[in-house]
Amino acid sequence: MAVSARAQKNKPVAEFPAEMSDAVRAEYQKQWDKGRILWDINCARCHNMQVRRKVLIPDFKPEQLIGYELRVKNAQHDTGIAEERVSTEELGLIMTFLSYKKKNK
């Protein structure tokens, strides 16, 4: 398998509710894409896992993705995702990405 094909296969995919309108879905897709980039920059280094030569982004439960709890539940986040590094708006984009990322099998 070519490297580019492997990278495409390993790329996260968004999974939105079927009842979401096309206009809303398009807006959430933009937010999801921005959140994925922010995840890669700020979070992936510590949270991504390598399983059988495949990089997995962990699945978080909805209650783990509640606003500032993301910052305060883990002591390492005090410095790792401090507001000076990741704004509240950016954290919201990351949570959108994680909320609608297709779950791992």
Query: pLDDT tens digit string along 33-70?
Result: 999 999 999 899 888 988 888 889 999 888 888 766 76
Confidence band for 98, pLDDT divided at 50, 70 and 90:
very high
Look at phi and psi of residue 22 and say left if phi exceeds 0, alpha if psi is from -120 to 50, else beta.
alpha
| Distances 21 to 28, 70, 93, 103 between C-alpha atoms, Å | 10, 29, 20, 21
pTM (2 d.p.): 0.82
Higher pLDDT, 1 or 82: 82
Q: Where are the alpha helices (DSSP H) in the chain?
A: 3-10, 22-42, 44-47, 69-72, 77-80, 88-100
pLDDT at 78: 67
The torsion angles phi and psi of 56, rounded to 5 degrees, stand at -115, 135
* pLDDT at 76 exceeding the cut of 80: no
